[in-house]
Amino acid sequence: MQGSTSVVDAGEAGLFACDLRARLFRRDGLRLAVGDRVDLTLDAEGAGAEPEVEGAPLRHAVIEAVVDRTSSLRRARDFKRDQVLVANVDRVFVVVAAMDPPYKRQFVDRLLVGCERDELVPVVVCNKVDLCDEPYRELVEEDLAVYGELGYDTLAVSAETGEGIDALTEAFRGRISAVVGPSGVGKSTILNRTCPGAVLPTGEVSDQDGRGRHTTTAAELVRLPGGGFVIDTPGLRGFGLWDIAPDEVKFGFREVVAASNSCKFADCGHESEPGCAVRAAVEAGEIDEERFESFKKLREEVKAEAAQRLLSRRR
């Protein structure tokens, strides 16, 4: 999307610069998301309108209708309309960097909660593994193994050396995939390696704060040579979970749900209650301790946010 105009890929018919029919926006309050499927009518008077692709102006069309979404990944925002990051995707590739900037597993866990909430299939990808020395590489592999044992597909890749790129390209093939993660982790660089000719802008991590710069400013749909599409998304500084109740956080933690079925109390909070099977599983090494701490921290964060919203509304 560029301003109020969206670029629509109509397959063999090519690309079109499209405006949304006013009634869809005014009456229905519709907001388009990258990945939406739409019905178009050509606008003969709009031939040669901006934007341009490779120096040539696109034909103009009008979006008459938006097909019901089969899926979406939402970023919930307090007191605002939820933002649909991507629509109609089959898989969400959660990309972090092994180093520069180093990943935080809680950020991965937060996105997994969002994927589970929206019934999407996540894949955990760790880029820049070429920057790791041997001990740190082993740590990265151990972290990926934690998610692998939970049933999530994982990939260790390097856009610099090409390690894992073939496997990632194959994972993209024939699907509509979204690539999400913080700025600076190399999402666009990965796509440039898996999609020759995409030429997506890339950047470097800031030396001052260790954060990546936003080289991708709007989500972009990229057609794959071997079939399918990938959506490159802007870097995420955060991922809101405003619409999730504290007791729903566990659904992003499969191992907690499985163990909690054996807790003595149905409403066990997995804190200090007697007969807590979850804590027992952590102590026995059956649940990764860092994942359990992440679960507790996210749940407390959601509780605090809910209390703050309630207080703000009373004022």
- Domain map of the chain by residue range? 6-66, 72-232, 246-314
- Please check whether the two domains, 72-232 and 246-314, share a CATH topology: no
List the CATH code of the domain at 72-232.
Answer: 3.40.50.300
Amino acid in the structure at residue 213: R
- The pLDDT of residue 205 is 39
Q: Six-digit token pair at 234? A: 């802007």
pLDDT at residue number 203: 41
* pLDDT per residue of the chain (315 residues) written in tens, 0 to 9: 444 678 898 888 888 888 888 777 666 667 888 899 999 998 765 554 555 555 567 888 999 988 999 988 876 655 455 678 889 999 999 999 999 889 999 999 999 998 898 899 999 999 999 999 999 999 999 999 999 999 999 999 999 999 999 999 999 999 999 999 888 898 888 988 888 765 544 444 334 444 434 344 467 888 888 788 998 887 665 566 667 888 889 989 999 999 999 999 999 999 999 999 999 999 999 999 999 999 999 999 888 876 766 666 555
Residue keyed to tokens 């359990």: 292
Three-state secondary structure call for residue 262: coil
Closest CA to 297 of 103, 104, 94, 136: 104
Residue 72 is predicted with a pLDDT of 86
The angle subtended at Cα 95 by Cα 92 and Cα 99, nearest 5°, is: 170
Q: How far is CA 33 from CA 68, 84, 111, 154, in A?
A: 12, 6, 19, 27
> Which two tokens mark 34?
């990258």
Extract the tokens encoding 292.
């359990």
Number of H helices, E strands in the chain: 8, 13
Q: What is the pLDDT of residue 6?
A: 83
- pLDDT score, position 28: 65
Options 1.10.40.50, 3.40.50.150, 3.40.50.300, 1.10.10.10; CATH of 246-314 = 1.10.40.50
pTM above 0.85, yes or no: no
How far apart, in whole angstroms, are the C-alpha atoms of residue 144 and residue 156?
8
